[in-house]
Structure 1
Amino acid sequence: MKSANYLVFFMSLLIFSFLKPVKGYSQKQTTYVIKNVNVITMTSSNAIINNATVIVSENRIESINGRIPKNAKIIDGKGKWLIPGLIDAHVHLPTDAYFGQKFATQKPDLTFNAQDVMTPIIANGVTTVLDLDSKMETFGQKKAIEKGYVIGPRIALAALINGGNGQGRIANTAEEGRLMVKNAKFEGYDFIKVYSKLNMETYNAIIDEANKQGLKTIGHIPNAFQGKLEQAFIPHFGMVAHAEEFSKNSVSFSEQDAVKFAKLSKDNDTWLSPTLTTMLWIAKQTHSVDSIKNLSSLKYVHPLLQSKWLTANNYVKNSSPENVTYFDNMVKFHFQLVKAFKDAGVPIVAGTDAGVSGVVAGFSLHDELELLVQAGLTPQEALNSATLLSAQWLGIEKQIGSIEIGKFADLILLEDNPFTDIKNTRKIAGVFVNGNWLDKKKLNGMLTDLANRNTAEKDKFDWKIFINNRK
């Protein structure tokens, strides 16, 4: 770890010592009882427990249909459905270093309020995220949540390693790749993300070293494997982070290619997180920027990012009839891919690539679940992709991912059954975040406050002025 990174980390700890927990969010846990609720356990047996009593104490699920403790807070679950908290296995959390290393040595003139970043996530019942390009500031966000200063999800951290001449963690030899992995392990990262500009030798070394260090690997299929896709599927390449990584290796977008790609993944035990919503949003923006202007959740995005999405949108800028057709066809092919991967028995994990223009964290996971169902998954399979299956890939299925006694109380209370209609995951009556109850009124209030502040501050942020001032 570089000395500058140490400084950022320890300064974060110093700042936390002066912060106070969020109002209405108690670190001293209350015992809750959800009465007469239908429990979708999402266990391997797929059990549903009707008209159950679920007791939550000290941020854990204490019992199901056990004795109700005295002085417990009662939540009426009659006619409602309880599911595990959702997991988004592909996000990019905005941090103060969000705009890259180019600005790292300049005096910062922008900070992201951590609670504002997390509010849309937890308001949508997303209680765990995998951040796929974590910075030291992301460690700070994670610590703030753990201390109770911010209401937010559990955060798993991935270190991104790329090749070429860019900024950040760059490795262009096998030795450099192994060193980057060892450094990431030492710094406390949970996963390694491989990226597009790695050469073959370095890519192979990174995956091998990550396995030796006990770290799973997720990411892109480097461009060096174009025309040699089979060579990218080596032991311990754990998950492909986008369906696009396959479609960019297809000329015809044929069903035959989809089946071939699925077999490659199945034979190598490589999972898929297709991020269908990302490519759908990219395609929309090649048609018109109005897709962003009319986005109902845009008001929950930081005003500077709103400005960037609307005025410096490369998908809009580089749009052409050819691009429109290409991306529309890619969207269709991704649906074919998901169907082929399902038929081949490849595990499919829900991720959104939240942070891409149009892909709003929290809201986007519900979009992804609906798209997975459109692509051929059952509602139960789609929900599994964002609960137990994701927890299993993250290696934390003993703590979260299903509703079982002893697991963390990361839970969502729904008005209707998501197995009947996956859109019902949006009908949230309340969320348990690490055992703390946030009802619909509280969640809506948090979202309203965020939208009002963003609207009030919109005139202060202009992407083009911001960039010009940074040059």
Structure 2
Amino acid sequence: MKIVKRVLKFIAILIGILLISTVIVVLIDQQSTNYLKIKNNKFANNTYLITNANIIPMNQDTILVDKMVYIKEGLIQNISDNIEIKGVEIIDAKNKYLSPGLIDMHVHVWDRYELGVYLSNGITSVRNLWGMPMHLRLKEDIENNKIIAPIFFTSGPKLTGPEFIGDDNLHLVSPIEAKEKVISYKKRGYDFIKTYYGLTEDIFDAVIEQALVSNMDIVAHPSHKVPYSYHFNPQIKSIEHAEDIIQQPLNYTLDTLKLKEVITDFKKSKHIAFSPTLTVYNNIYQMLIDDNILETEALQFMNPLIKKVDSKAQFDRWTTSKLKDSSVVNTIKKQHEFHLEIIKKLHEVDVTFICGTDAGIGVTVPGFSIHQELAFYKEAGLSNYEVLKTATLNASKTHSIMNTMGTIEVGKIANLLLIDDNPLLDLSALKNPTYVFVKGRKLDRETLDSFENKARNRSNLIASALRYLENMIVEK
């Protein structure tokens, strides 16, 4: 009996040590991102007068030349030829362009370091589509103005059906359970429902029904268990991934006749937006042609846990495929080119595109990837104005909770980029903005560069693993 008590006491001590160690590791990681804190530092000010600005408002295809913009407490208070305001900092934007901040509508955030990288690339809002408990804490800190970060929206965990397709998914077994999860996510503070590969029709119906009752929009990664046309339900606000058009309704073929049916369905569903995420698929091709891609400068900005586990696994998978059949390189290249054709055809029938990168998984780097995504839309035939709309106006109209951003208008949140050149002529002007304003708070280029430096090759693998473990325990 004494031996049993000693063993139990020893186990209790070990558990205690483990818990204390876990708390210490997470706290140290959080301390390492104190550079994002707002309180009592230079990020606190959110009232400015910008003068001599060439404004790209994005509610129309034009430039408002040599205007003043008064930002008061994070909101655009006035836009005019002349504004008389005393006692505020003045920013001279002579010969520069003022554009809305970019919105990445499909990201996977793994730590706070990434928030600074998004800002550095002009991204002032993100839609996180793989919700975990850590994201609720992150969202709370951002909303309470504790840290400088893109405005943060997040779905709940990915909802799948009973078939096991990975331990990172929530496998629903009944319609009743599906409804309970939607209710729970609403109560806990998640913004959207993310439906995923594998949802069966009865469970999908339950998710849609309860999402309507709970007033939660659905973001759909298409499920192969229902027809693709099933995803055009009014409760679904966006459909993700061009590759899934090929994998589902086109049955892994580059069939232009079957594509016409999909185009027709999109044309009929004016309420829905489409997020192509072309970059993440094209990165398969990049892995196939670059044996050293995991060692590149860009990959230094990936979360170390993701780089070690997911990036490496994807690289190994496609390297093995190439060794077995070298034609896979050309196959992936041709499918990417067909994705561009899909965008072109959808654009011809006025489908609304929203820019999403799928950043944070594989080798798709947070922040930087948005510029490649926008370039692909340009390659597919969109004008520069139409491309920029995907990451501003269109994105902001997808969900009602995002309507206060995306354009430069009185009353909108002051999420802005001050850039040297006109992106309506050259999209690369959006890279390395001179200033980024997020909720009216000004970040200069030096500060933005420091955010990148802090995120480069960070050493928070264990802390990231603990947060992921928390998700596995809490959400299963």
Quote the Cα distance in structure 1 between the aligned partners of 2:387 and 2:444: 25
Percent identity between the aligned chains? 28
SS at match of 2:360: coil
Aligned to 2:223: 222
The alpha-carbon deviation at position 306 of structure 1 amounts to: 3.5
TM-aligned CA deviation for residue 201 of structure 1: 1.8
Report the more deviating stretch, 22-31 or 150-159.
Answer: 22-31
Q: Which has the larger radius of gyration?
A: 2
Q: Provide the C-alpha distance between the structure 1 equivalents of 2:41 and 2:143, rounded to a whole number of angstroms.
A: 12
Q: Which residue of 1 aligns with 2:160?
A: 162
* Match in the other structure for 1:253: 254
8 Å contact from structure 1 (residues 259, 341) kept in 2: no
TM score, norm. by length of structure 1: 0.83
Structure with bigger RCO (C-alpha 8 Å, 6+ apart): 2
Q: CA deviation at 1:348?
A: 0.7
Give the Cα–Cα distance (whole angstroms) in 2 for the partners of residues 460 and 136 of structure 1: 17
Task: Answer whether contact 1:55 1:68 (CA < 8 A) is retained.
Answer: no
Work out the CA distance in 2 between the residues paired with 1:308 and 1:346. Answer: 36
Are 2:100 and 1:84 equivalent residues in the alignment? Answer: yes
Equivalent residue number for residue 115 of structure 2: 118
Matched pairs, number: 427
In 1: Cα distance, 2:83 partner to 2:233 partner: 51
Q: Which amino acid aligns with 1:50?
A: V
Aligned twin of 1:356: 361
What letter corresponds to residue 376 of structure 2 in structure 1?
L
Deviation at 1:188, TM superposition (A): 1.8
Q: Distance in 2 between matches of 1:359 and 1:329?
A: 20
Q: Which structure 2 residues correspond to residues 392-403 of structure 1 after superposition, within 5 A?
A: 392-403=397-408
Q: 1:414 pairs with 391, 414, 419, which one?
A: 419
Match of 2:61 among 46, 49, 71: 46
Q: 1:298 to 1:22 in 2, by over 3 A?
A: farther
Aligned partner (choices 331, 337, 351) of residue 332 of structure 1: 337
Partner of 1:283: 285
In structure 2, the partner of 1:375 is 380
- Which residue number corresponds to residue 298 of structure 2? 297
Residue 70 of structure 1 aligns with which residue? 86
Counterpart for residue 243 of structure 2: 244
Tell me if structure 2 keeps the 8 A contact 1:416–1:427. no
Residues 385-431 of structure 1: per-residue CA shift (max 9 Å, x gap): 11111011022454111101121111001110000011211141110
Residue 109 of structure 1 corresponds to which residue in structure 2? none
Verify the 8 A CA contact 2:159 2:195 in the aligned structure 1: yes
Aligned twin of 2:184:
183
Distance 1:406 1:237, change over 3 A: closer
> Structure 1 residue 317: deviation in Å?
4.3
Stretch deviating more after TM superposition (274-283 or 211-220): 211-220
- 1:423 counterpart (423, 428, 445): 428
Residue in structure 1 matched with residue 135 of structure 2 by the alignment: 138
Between 241-250 and 257-266, the greater mean CA deviation after superposition: 257-266
Which residue of the partner structure matches residue 19 of structure 2?
none
- State whether residues 120 and 432 of structure 2, in contact with CA within 8 Å, keep that contact through their aligned partners in structure 1: no
Give the Cα separation in 2 of the matches to 1:204 and 1:233: 13
Conservation of the 8 A alpha-carbon contact between 2:303 and 2:461: no
1:104 alignment partner in structure 2: none
Answer whether contact 1:194 1:217 (CA < 8 A) is retained: yes
Secondary structure of the structure 1 residue equivalent to 2:171: coil
Q: Could you say what the CA RMSD is over the residues aligned between the two structures, in angstroms?
A: 3.0
Instruction: Report how far residue 374 of structure 1 moved.
Output: 0.6
Displacement after TM superposition at 1:231 (Å): 4.2
* Equivalent position SS for 2:334: helix
CA displacement at 1:22 relative to structure 2: 4.4
- Give distance in 2, aligned partners of 1:212 and 1:436: 37
